[in-house]
Structure 1
């Protein structure tokens, strides 16, 4: 185990003016607090924070970060408190240590939700000071290096969490070396057979190509010396997980991969990067489509480099990365390579901690925090964060030339939301490179995308399954919830207006504010939406506003039902008459529906669905309030309504309000008894189509030697249209009988 003076010496190598007192005090305090605690390996627990600190010294981090590494488990696993750490080490270090402490006693229903809430807390802490991330990743790296000591049943869960969250997070913040080691360590446990097979084959390939690798290094070094370019050439081998993932995604064998071995060219300046590139391309042929300039267009994690593949010495395909030494530090250590969290006390305006808010990596983190603030549930947040951490990217442009980086597979919808949430919410179409293209088009590098907008647009819920960015998915879910809430709120308002009117009262939204506590709702819109969803009844609201109000409900007896008309009180407190089974059709047709809610169809402004047997304009209809899902519309003659006879509060008086300009078909169920002859079904289907009706579903109910009974769920314009169709079906030589099904 590393001794106290050894830790101080490690920091002194890159920071001669190190605050030795701080490191010594943190070392002693953490060792005393962890006391006799042991790790799963049997080692003293204090060896873990000490190793985490050692990892961070390799990144040349300041003594405050090293102190946080030593203390990072004290609040969570010992008797230490935030107040005590603040008093001993200052509030800045105390805040960092608390940011690394997992949430305890989470009242959550799933391990996934607990994982998400801890990640949410961690990201919020990282957004304030990136050193939290550096300590957390070093902590996870040491835990993965010693995972073989953990009980077997826990290993897979920890490895999967590392692969899903921490490795991509390291990559997103530019820490490529950290990412690669985390992925390879996790790969050993998530797919041990795959890891073993790839590792063995890579070792064979390396031995076989050892001479070729040396030959290429020599040729490149000689080329740069000839052009008087000071450069360092390093060979590198792809990591097992990177090789395995590429084989899987591109369905290639290991021998087909051209970039198992690559070479890194390091120079002093950007100018020398392009001079080196020119020397290489003028000597060897470039492989078409394999050139990428991330210096002029950096990745979102601030990665900068030139990538090219050539047919080099011995006719070998050689992958090259050309970058400056500074770019190489950023590529390997990401945000840890930035010097801005050093010399903490000398930075103006509090800029001495965290990373630059102008960096792409911090920009991504800010957008992720915006998603947090929208209040998604834990599972949604976890999913969105994973989506946001995709590495493979495409770069597209707005018509004004602004660069938008998106994950591979992104669509114009993702592009619209990347520009701004309002642009995404109002998107109705897109032009890609000047041509109108479907919104599901997969974007490619260099595409120019122009979004066509309409203020009347509401993003369809189905978009959620098309987009690939977490921001777009979260915004679509939010817009869908808002639209549904607006529908329920509108329905609740109409129900309460009619309920108050029937009770002889005047309805005003302001009258609900003083009684919100009685209704257990936080605001007026919540009350209205709850009434619309059927979670609150209008009599309950009336009694809350007017405590003296009495609800005189009338329930129909079986005798009254047989005699014809009977009264029911609906959810709005309205009395209206529904015909019993013996009522004549003429009575039903002529009965007025004063004060009824207008129903247009499923595309109207109310949350409306239709009963399985359907209902069409011209039918006398009634609505049944379905808690949580709006109103279900039934034709008045439906036998299914008997199931609601003892629930009068759910009955809603409704009427058709059809807009002639909005062409919409409505559902109706028809039973057809067809003669068993070849071509009968085709003739029936042709007859339905020729009458401008649409078959939605078809089922065979009963088959006899001579006849087959079929049930058609049709879509028709109105009752006249349906009756005309039934009449023609009955006249068909292929049909014995045709009738409408009600319930």
Structure 2
């Protein structure tokens, strides 16, 4: 662990103007606050933030970042507050610490929700100041280095999985490849211990048996380039175990079949020398077609620049060679942090584009599962390059389609997409794009994202935007139904209902606004009686039960059951009075009532069969129907009107599928009997708004 004076000296070596007293105070503060706390390794807890601060000094970051690293766990793990941090170290440090700190209120959430909320807060803070990410990555890297001290294997695997899915990709996206590789190495060891052991064992054998082969190849490359008049440095190494394992999995090959295990790096003096070295290598050794990548003319989003090629060396050995300048190498290994000059106000280019996309995903994601899925898509996929007709370059994940391209350009363009030209030719929207494709998006202001696009888009930004649009459209349509039902409810209230009464009702029902009220009614999330009472308090006190169909208790009686035996109507077939029914009684459970033609009955259920029939007073059963509506304004309202005219209460309404020009809905209706349900289906089939209606 770094001592106090060692840490301060490190900072002063590269930043003589740093506030030495403030750095000392931050070191003492974290030691005092963490006190006698211990890590799983048995070391004092404060050793962790000190080591994280040490990693930040390796990157020569400003003093605010160093102090943030020292204090990053104090709010989460001690009695310190953000207000304390601000009072002692200033507003900027307090904001950075808050960005890195996890929310305490999420500790009671389920694991996925907790991870998603952490990620959501972290991404939002990171969008305001990228130094939050730099501290967080160093924090995670040090935690991974000490992960083996945690005794619980499940906890180790959970942390390793989160590192592999979120933090290693984030390190890659800001160009911090050194961090990324070490995180992947340590996470791989926990997640795939057998594969890790096998691959590292094979690499050790290669090192013992190669007889200095790596050094010999590096020397041959250097000599060839020296003869061409180029002054270069050449180094060689085996590829990392995780990189080899990933290649084995992608290509479905064994370790022996992975031919390019060795990689060599050529460091030149200038960019022109990079291309000269490439030409020399390609004329000296045969290069492998399809393996050349020029990241000098088209850098990666994270600023990575290098030439990549693969050569066939002696004895048909394949080797990968990367060619770059020294400045490029420094940037490539430590990315954004390598040229972070925050005090001068210089923010690195390219650090905000993909970050803006991530923030859009945060805003558009509906729940924890979606947020994690979309974020992983956004930060961890191989890239292709595609161009707009005006020559603007866009990097996209491999497998992206014109719809992904449109959303990458702008969310509004993606939403208005109706067609696309790829390299001047009209192509289907589901067409995968290739490197170098020129994509022209055809749009219409009347267009909306289609649910079917989720079947082929691959970017997290596109998926999040499509899902959000579909949800908003569905909500608007359900609210339209609710508005029509509201008119019927209001007509039963002994008063004229105006805007004032509706506003008061919204407040009494603790809803956001009038639209939320209509949605709640349309989605059957609120009873008619509750709406009436909210509109005119006290109006339902003397109401006869028969006046309030929605509040009637189900009066289902079944013949053939022993008195007092519990039963329930099966969810799979939704039997209603008039159906021929049968009962299934399982050991230790009540009786489940099925329609005689239910598919579940043919699945060989281990239960006693009972011959049952409906009682005379049975009413209020729920039948389920599927209605295919034309996708046009007013269609849902017309269907709701049919239900209202036939005195059928909506218990549940779900949009199950959209495929232009149709929307398919599943509806649970409270009906009197089979004849009542049949009349409703007949009325639906007679409607111009309905393409098809059937009972499920």
- For structure 2, which runs of at least 5 residues remain unmatched after alignment? 553-576, 579-625, 655-664
1:411 counterpart (395, 398, 401): 401
2:430 is the alignment partner of 1:440: yes
Distance 1:277 1:545, change over 3 A: same
Q: CA deviation at 1:107?
A: 6.8
Q: CA deviation at 1:171?
A: 1.0
1:639 counterpart (664, 674, 686): 674
Distance 1:509 1:212, change over 3 A: farther
Q: CA deviation at 1:245?
A: 1.0
- Structure 2 distance, partners of 1:609, 1:329, is 65
- Structure 2 distance, partners of 1:551, 1:462, is 48
2:125 is the alignment partner of 1:98: no
Q: CA deviation at 1:456?
A: 4.1
Please name the residue that 1:324 is paired with.
325
Q: Verify the 8 A CA contact 1:384 1:473 in the aligned structure 2.
A: yes
- Structure 1 distance, partners of 2:192, 2:317, is 31
Please name the residue that 1:451 is paired with.
441
Distance 1:7 1:160, change over 3 A: same
Q: Verify the 8 A CA contact 1:395 1:446 in the aligned structure 2.
A: yes
Q: CA deviation at 1:11?
A: 3.0
2:324 is the alignment partner of 1:370: no
What does the per-residue CA deviation read over 1:140-180, in whole Å, with 9 as the maximum and x for residues that have no partner?
Answer: 11111111111224211111111111111111111111000
Q: CA deviation at 1:214?
A: 2.1
Q: CA deviation at 1:531?
A: 1.4
Please name the residue that 1:682 is paired with.
none
Secondary structure of residue in 2 paired with 1:179: helix
What does the per-residue CA deviation read over 1:226-284, in whole Å, with 9 as the maximum and x for residues that have no partner?
Answer: 22222211213211111101110111222222321111111232222222222222333
Distance 1:291 1:544, change over 3 A: same
- Structure 2 distance, partners of 1:396, 1:640, is 59
Distance 1:508 1:340, change over 3 A: farther
Secondary structure of residue in 2 paired with 1:664: strand
- Structure 2 distance, partners of 1:313, 1:15, is 49
Comparing 532-541 with 414-423, greater Cα deviation is found at 532-541
What does the per-residue CA deviation read over 1:2-32, in whole Å, with 9 as the maximum and x for residues that have no partner?
Answer: 3222223333443344433232222222222
1:392 counterpart (382, 385, 390): 382
Please name the residue that 2:651 is paired with.
626
Secondary structure of residue in 1 paired with 2:60: coil
What does the per-residue CA deviation read over 1:387-434, in whole Å, with 9 as the maximum and x for residues that have no partner?
Answer: 111131111122232222111122222222212222222333333333
Q: CA deviation at 1:509?
A: 5.8
Secondary structure of residue in 2 paired with 1:121: helix
Please name the residue that 2:146 is paired with.
146
What does the per-residue CA deviation read over 1:641-660, in whole Å, with 9 as the maximum and x for residues that have no partner?
Answer: 5999xxxxxx999766644x
- Structure 2 distance, partners of 1:73, 1:480, is 40
Comparing 311-320 with 489-498, greater Cα deviation is found at 311-320
- Structure 1 distance, partners of 2:637, 2:673, is 17
Q: CA deviation at 1:286?
A: 2.1
Distance 1:13 1:569, change over 3 A: closer
Larger Rg: 1
Q: CA deviation at 1:368?
A: 0.9
Q: Verify the 8 A CA contact 2:385 2:395 in the aligned structure 1.
A: yes
- Structure 1 distance, partners of 2:377, 2:365, is 17
2:630 is the alignment partner of 1:603: yes
Secondary structure of residue in 2 paired with 1:459: coil
Q: Verify the 8 A CA contact 1:198 1:240 in the aligned structure 2.
A: yes
Secondary structure of residue in 2 paired with 1:215: helix
Q: CA deviation at 1:96?
A: 1.7
- Structure 2 distance, partners of 1:455, 1:657, is 33
2:568 is the alignment partner of 1:533: no
Secondary structure of residue in 1 paired with 2:14: coil
Q: Verify the 8 A CA contact 1:57 1:66 in the aligned structure 2.
A: yes
Secondary structure of residue in 2 paired with 1:602: strand
Q: Verify the 8 A CA contact 2:403 2:417 in the aligned structure 1.
A: yes
Please name the residue that 2:48 is paired with.
48
Distance 1:543 1:516, change over 3 A: same
Q: CA deviation at 1:538?
A: 4.8
- Structure 1 distance, partners of 2:324, 2:217, is 18
- Structure 2 distance, partners of 1:502, 1:88, is 64
Distance 1:633 1:198, change over 3 A: closer
| 1:499-514 alignment, distance < 5 Å | 499-500=489-490, 512-514=502-504
Q: Verify the 8 A CA contact 2:420 2:428 in the aligned structure 1.
A: yes
Secondary structure of residue in 2 paired with 1:60: coil
Please name the residue that 1:243 is paired with.
244
- Structure 1 distance, partners of 2:41, 2:540, is 72
- For structure 1, which runs of at least 5 residues remain unmatched after alignment? 557-567, 574-579, 582-598, 611-616, 645-650, 669-712, 714-743
- Structure 1 distance, partners of 2:89, 2:434, is 51
Please name the residue that 2:195 is paired with.
194
What does the per-residue CA deviation read over 1:588-607, in whole Å, with 9 as the maximum and x for residues that have no partner?
Answer: xxxxxxxxxxx995335455
Distance 1:635 1:113, change over 3 A: closer
Q: Verify the 8 A CA contact 2:402 2:439 in the aligned structure 1.
A: yes
What does the per-residue CA deviation read over 1:595-622, in whole Å, with 9 as the maximum and x for residues that have no partner?
Answer: xxxx995335455999xxxxxx9xx966
Secondary structure of residue in 1 paired with 2:691: coil
Please name the residue that 1:33 is paired with.
33
- Structure 2 distance, partners of 1:261, 1:23, is 44
Distance 1:50 1:609, change over 3 A: farther
| 1:461-500 alignment, distance < 5 Å | 461-500=451-490
- Structure 1 distance, partners of 2:692, 2:681, is 23
- Structure 1 distance, partners of 2:448, 2:120, is 29
Please name the residue that 1:664 is paired with.
691
- Structure 2 distance, partners of 1:377, 1:655, is 35
Q: Verify the 8 A CA contact 1:183 1:241 in the aligned structure 2.
A: yes
Secondary structure of residue in 2 paired with 1:106: helix
- Structure 2 distance, partners of 1:600, 1:140, is 51
Count of aligned residue pairs for this structure pair: 609
Distance 1:654 1:26, change over 3 A: same
Secondary structure of residue in 2 paired with 1:264: strand
Distance 1:183 1:226, change over 3 A: same
- Structure 1 distance, partners of 2:201, 2:405, is 42
Comparing 487-496 with 502-511, greater Cα deviation is found at 502-511
